[in-house]
Structure 1
Amino acid sequence: MPTSSAIEIHALTKSYGDRVVLDDVSVDVARGSRTIVLGPNGAGKSTLLEIIATIRTPTSGTVRIEGHDSREHLRDARRSIGLTPQSNALDPLATPTEIFEFQASALGMGRRAARVRARELVELFGLGDHCRKRIAQLSGGTRRKVDLAVALVGEPPVIVLDEPTTGLDPLARLDFWNELTRLNDTDPDRTLLVSTQDLHEAEVLATDIVVLRDGRVVAHDAPDTLKGRVGERTLTLAMADPASAQHLITKSRTAFQAEARAEDLVRLALPQDSNVLETALEDIGAMAGAVREIRLSEPSLDDVFVALASR
């Protein structure tokens, strides 16, 4: 019976001699999610993705891809995965069309079916102006699109991407993020597993986040849930003068506090899932003429990374 998890990892370890790279990793990746793996250098991100993609074998533990054990049913597990590696591995003298057709043939498609699939991918990724150019002639962003398209030749339900936008300029990164989101949105069952050190990339893409530290999973949850664990929303007001700030602190039904750095600033911590903000806004409205500025601050993935991923 199909489960709600596209990837199921249980008690996974990977060691090289005395060096432990992955230590008892257990995590389920929800089907249809865009799951981001975060962690500092050396946390084990690339090793984890390579084991999931069946490039490396674990020392112990199990990995199931769409229900297929990656050791007992290797062929089925591999057919369920498309991989976009960290480094571009495309033949610089080939064209995108040639690469797509070759990959399709390697997956067992006949010549006619391979040509049809190549044309579909050219159209899907907007590569019409580039499909006859050599890879060496393409920009970094376009080469990355070709990398992603190669992973989709066999229409696998799981796409694994290892730091996919490293080295791309900001516009190319944004374009690539849009492609990933579109692929996920157009097929609700397609799962994206992405390793990155770019916290903005994680902020844009993630529906779920896995945090690795020293080869172990230290957190796995939705981005907003993780943010709530490590920080809190804060409402900060700049008042007209210190007297107004003190009046708000005294009269408000909520726990406004004075800011030590400036006597005209007041701050209110906003617990998750409470009506504190609604009450505070009512009290602020009663003396709106004395308010110069209101700022709502949210915890960020930077806070999550510092609190959970750093040693």
Structure 2
Amino acid sequence: MLEIVSTLRTPTSGTVVVEGHDVVTDVRAARRLIGLAPQSNALDPLATPVEVLEFQGAVLGLGRRAARRRSDELVELFGLGERQDTRIAKLSGGTRRKVDLAVALVGEPSLIVLDEPTTGLDPLARIEFWAELERLSAEDGPRTLLISTQDLHEAEVLATDIVVLREGGVVAHDSPEALKNRVGARTLTLTLDTSEATHDLVEATRAGFVPEPGRPATVRLALPGDPAVLRAALDDIGAVAASVEELRLTDPSLDDVFAVLTAPTTRLKKEPA
């Protein structure tokens, strides 16, 4: 799909339009609006960040001075000044990904396509790269970031709009919060000091606490938003307050969403506006 959007592959069906330009019938105009950062680093390992940025400017038809000016702007934007003359092969993975993104921005595209942008990065580099993407989206002019990822936490951190694909079709399309709300309720998890106390709570519960599989001293309750259920849960907890060791309230995650969406018969559709 990303190759089709980026004009690298011709679709067998359907259409992709970028700001009014069809990526098949108006490919040159569409291509000028798109920047691509592929999953695998494709930079010349013997070149420097400045060299690859200026080369990309030449490919896009910028004059020498314009390419140099744009390179300087991107070096400053991504904080690459101390490494601008270092060979790509000697840069860290996180810095190489920043250069990838900078190359995608040389033509000042309105659509940036990122294919699994943090694959292979360590946790700290991943967080720093997320911060770069958030800052870019917020500060560097109006543009759309189209990101493919299998990291659901990454999707939750970055996305304002999520499309879930399965077997070539759209399974769900909504904001992260709306998807989580549609899949499940908040969960109240309660751990008591003995399995006997847990058993007594389950036997007497008014709210509907159920045992946690594999954890004999723990129970859980899905909170559907009904105040009566919450009040009953507080009454249940009050009755065993002396035995409570831990209480946690958690929201459904995108991992929960994915588990539901990939069930064989699941088909969530976006609610009508």
TM-score normalised according to structure 2 size: 0.83
Residue in structure 1 matched with residue 25 of structure 2 by the alignment:
72
1:91-145 deviation line (CA, Å, top 9, x unaligned)? 2222111111121232232222221111110011110111011212212221111
Unaligned runs of 5+ in 1: 1-47
Question: Whose relative contact order is higher, 1 or 2, with alpha carbons under 8 Å and at least 6 apart?
Answer: 1
Q: 1:125 to 1:301 in 2, by over 3 A?
A: same
SS at structure 1 position matched to 2:82: coil
1:94 aligned residue (47, 63, 66): 47
Matched, 1:116 2:64: no
1:241-293 deviation line (CA, Å, top 9, x unaligned)? 645874697475x333455766754432111x543575357536755445332
2:183 aligned residue (218, 230, 233): 230
Residue in structure 2 matched with residue 302 of structure 1 by the alignment:
255
Matched, 1:128 2:85: no
What code does the residue aligned with 1:307 have? V
Q: 1:103 to 1:260 in 2, by over 3 A?
A: closer
Give the whole-Å Cα distance in 2 for the aligned partners of 1:260 and 1:131.
54
Give the whole-Å Cα distance in 1 for the aligned partners of 2:101 and 2:176.
25
* Contact in 2 for aligned 1:249/1:258 (Cα 8 Å): no
Greater percentage in strand: 1
What code does the residue aligned with 1:279 have? R
* Contact in 1 for aligned 2:198/2:218 (Cα 8 Å): no
* Contact in 1 for aligned 2:198/2:219 (Cα 8 Å): no
Structure 1 segment 148-163 matched on structure 2, within 5 A: 148-163=101-116
Structure 1 segment 279-290 matched on structure 2, within 5 A: 279-280=231-232, 282-283=234-235, 286-287=238-239, 288-290=241-243
TM-score normalised according to structure 1 size: 0.74
What code does the residue aligned with 1:275 have? P
CA-based RMSD of the aligned residues comes to: 2.7
Cα offset, 1:240, TM superposition = 5.3
Cα offset, 1:86, TM superposition = 1.4
Structure 1 segment 174-189 matched on structure 2, within 5 A: 174-187=127-140, 189=142
Greater percentage in helix: 2
Residue in structure 2 matched with residue 166 of structure 1 by the alignment:
119
Structure 1 segment 15-26 matched on structure 2, within 5 A: none
Cα offset, 1:183, TM superposition = 0.9
Structure 1 segment 156-305 matched on structure 2, within 5 A: 156-187=109-140, 189-239=142-192, 242=196, 246=200, 250=204, 252=206, 254-257=207-210, 265-271=218-224, 273-275=225-227, 279-280=231-232, 282-283=234-235, 286-287=238-239, 288-305=241-258
Give the whole-Å Cα distance in 2 for the aligned partners of 1:178 and 1:49.
23
Unaligned runs of 5+ in 2: 265-273
SS at structure 2 position matched to 1:61: coil
Residue in structure 2 matched with residue 43 of structure 1 by the alignment:
none
1:3-58 deviation line (CA, Å, top 9, x unaligned)? xxxxxxxxxxxxxxxxxxxxxxxxxxxxxxxxxxxxxxxxxxxxx01100111111
Give the whole-Å Cα distance in 2 for the aligned partners of 1:211 and 1:261.
31
Q: 1:156 to 1:274 in 2, by over 3 A?
A: farther
Matched, 1:62 2:15: yes
* Contact in 2 for aligned 1:249/1:256 (Cα 8 Å): no
Give the whole-Å Cα distance in 2 for the aligned partners of 1:251 and 1:134.
65
* Contact in 2 for aligned 1:249/1:257 (Cα 8 Å): no
Give the whole-Å Cα distance in 1 for the aligned partners of 2:27 and 2:198.
69
Cα offset, 1:221, TM superposition = 1.5
Q: How many positions carry a matched residue from both structures?
A: 262
1:136-163 deviation line (CA, Å, top 9, x unaligned)? 2212221111000000111111110111
Give the whole-Å Cα distance in 2 for the aligned partners of 1:94 and 1:244.
64
